[in-house]
């Protein structure tokens, strides 16, 4: 006969289970509350984690070269990445300042003398004649041009300027927070990684560790694929700028490379280059060729090469990678460019593990 466990032992086990459940519920509540409290900064923290995971192998090699330093190595890597980010931003701001001065001179000339119709307007098919008539009426005559400028609401322009300044300060603060977090993650990466793997092993066992490794590989593959494709696209489109004779072709090539890392950013860059090319005396046909060449490069790079690079790194099928990139962008914004493939890699890893378990243990 089986003996029944003592009632006191059952009550003790029930009390332990109740306390364990209460601790888990309390911890979950505190976690949700903390995430809700810092929700405005989660994107900055997420970027720091993505960058730290992607540069971790390179960081370990640099740290080994510096004798295992836990201060100089993370500081050097963080500062280098910040400089790499600031270079294209500084170029953009410098060019905006130059073009702003040109725009002010152009507006002054427009208000005082009007602006004659450019020659390229007459060459436009279908709309050239209508655009010429509108230009003659509203811009070529000084009084008409002055009336257009007077219709601009100065208070609205002032409000836009303040909003833009506030947005720039906010993004600058978030960038500083991102790099501060990156420095801390690099300096304490071994300890943080050990804690994370210990928790994963406690909750999920060995399959959880493989899942974490797959997600880390997906982050590195996505970052590396995005950067390599952006650099390649910038070089190819930059060659097109030089052949067509775009002013400041090298600068536009650098900006195209930087903007290619953003969704549809390169499209804006080579379209702006084509507009500047036309305004400085270029032909419409050559400008259309610039846009066409840029579109071909971007369509092939973003829809074929980039998913292949990312999927090849983490053994993701092409369709899964493409859906992860597009769905991540649509759902999470820019950071979804990296989160999407990571989530798809995690889902595929779980699927493979469960399929293997079923194959190993048939019913």
pLDDT score at 345: 77
Q: How confident is the model over 52-98, as pLDDT tens digits?
A: 888 888 888 888 888 877 788 889 989 988 888 777 677 666 766 66
**Residues 256 and 282 reside in one and the same domain:** yes
344 within a domain of the structure (yes/no): yes
- Name the domain count of the chain: 2
**Residues 63 and 160 reside in one and the same domain:** yes
290 within a domain of the structure (yes/no): yes
30 within a domain of the structure (yes/no): no
For the chain, which residues score pLDDT lower than 70?
A: 1-13, 15-17, 88, 91-93, 95-128, 136-167, 203-209, 214, 263, 311-316, 352-363
Examine the fold and report which residue of 133, 160, 187 is the final residue of a domain before the chain moves on.
187
**Residues 149 and 223 reside in one and the same domain:** no
The number of beta carbons lying within 10 Å of the beta carbon of residue 327 is: 16
Listed in sequence order, the DSSP H helices in the chain are 7-37, 42-65, 72-113, 119-122, 128-138, 142-150, 154-187, 189-204, 206-244, 249-259, 265-279, 284-300, 306-314, 318-332, 336-360
| Range of the structural domain that residue 124 is part of | 42-187
**Residues 220 and 151 reside in one and the same domain:** no
The answer to whether the predicted template modeling score (pTM) of the entire model surpasses 0.75 is no
57 within a domain of the structure (yes/no): yes
240 within a domain of the structure (yes/no): yes
Q: Decide if 274 contacts 291 (C-beta within 8 A).
A: yes
174 within a domain of the structure (yes/no): yes
86 within a domain of the structure (yes/no): yes
**Residues 130 and 51 reside in one and the same domain:** yes
pLDDT score at 65: 86
pLDDT score at 208: 65
**Residues 324 and 291 reside in one and the same domain:** yes
Examine the fold and report which residue of 187, 215, 239 is the final residue of a domain before the chain moves on.
187
Q: Decide if 327 contacts 263 (C-beta within 8 A).
A: no
Structure tokens that stand for 269 in this block: 């860059």
pLDDT score at 123: 63
> Using CA atoms, how far apart are residues 7 and 181, in angstroms rounded to an integer?
52
129 within a domain of the structure (yes/no): yes
**Residues 324 and 268 reside in one and the same domain:** yes
pLDDT score at 361: 47
């Amino acid at each position: 006969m089986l003996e029944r466990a003592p009632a006191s032992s059952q009550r003790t086990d029930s009390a332990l289970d109740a306390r364990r459940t209460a601790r888990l519920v309390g911890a979950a509540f505190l976690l949700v509350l903390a995430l809700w409290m810092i929700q405005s900064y989660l994107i900055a923290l997420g970027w720091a984690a993505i960058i730290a995971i992607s540069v971790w192998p390179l960081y370990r090699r640099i740290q080994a070269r510096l004798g295992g330093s836990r201060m100089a190595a993370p500081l050097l890597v963080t500062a280098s990445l910040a400089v790499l980010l600031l270079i294209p931003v500084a170029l953009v701001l410098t060019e905006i300042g130059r073009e702003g001065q040109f725009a002010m001179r152009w507006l002054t000339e427009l208000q005082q003398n009007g602006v004659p119709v450019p020659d390229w307007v007459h060459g436009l098919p279908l709309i050239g004649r209508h655009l010429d008539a509108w230009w003659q009426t509203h811009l070529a005559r000084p009084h008409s041009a002055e009336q257009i400028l007077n219709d601009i609401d100065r208070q609205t322009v002032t409000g836009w300027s303040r909003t833009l300044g506030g947005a720039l300060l906010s993004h600058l603060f978030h960038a500083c927070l991102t790099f501060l977090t990156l420095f801390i993650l690099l300096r304490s990466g071994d300890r943080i990684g050990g804690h994370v793997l210990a928790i994963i092993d406690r909750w999920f066992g060995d399959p959880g560790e493989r899942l974490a490794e797959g997600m880390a590989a997906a982050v590195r593959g996505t970052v590396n694929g995005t950067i390599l494709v952006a650099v390649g696209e910038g070089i190819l489109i930059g060659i097109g700028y030089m052949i067509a004779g775009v002013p400041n072709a090298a600068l536009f090539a650098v900006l195209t490379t930087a903007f290619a890392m953003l969704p549809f950013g390169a499209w804006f860059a080579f379209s702006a280059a084509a507009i500047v090319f036309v305004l400085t005396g270029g032909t419409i046909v050559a400008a259309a060729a610039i846009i066409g060449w840029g579109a071909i490069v971007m369509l092939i790079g973003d829809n074929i090469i980039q998913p292949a690079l990312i999927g090849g790194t983490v053994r993701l099928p092409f369709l899964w990678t493409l859906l992860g990139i597009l769905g991540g962008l649509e759902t999470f914004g820019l950071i979804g460019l990296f989160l999407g493939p990571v989530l798809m890699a995690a889902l595929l890893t779980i699927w493979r593990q469960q399929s293997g378990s079923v194959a190993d243990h048939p019913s």
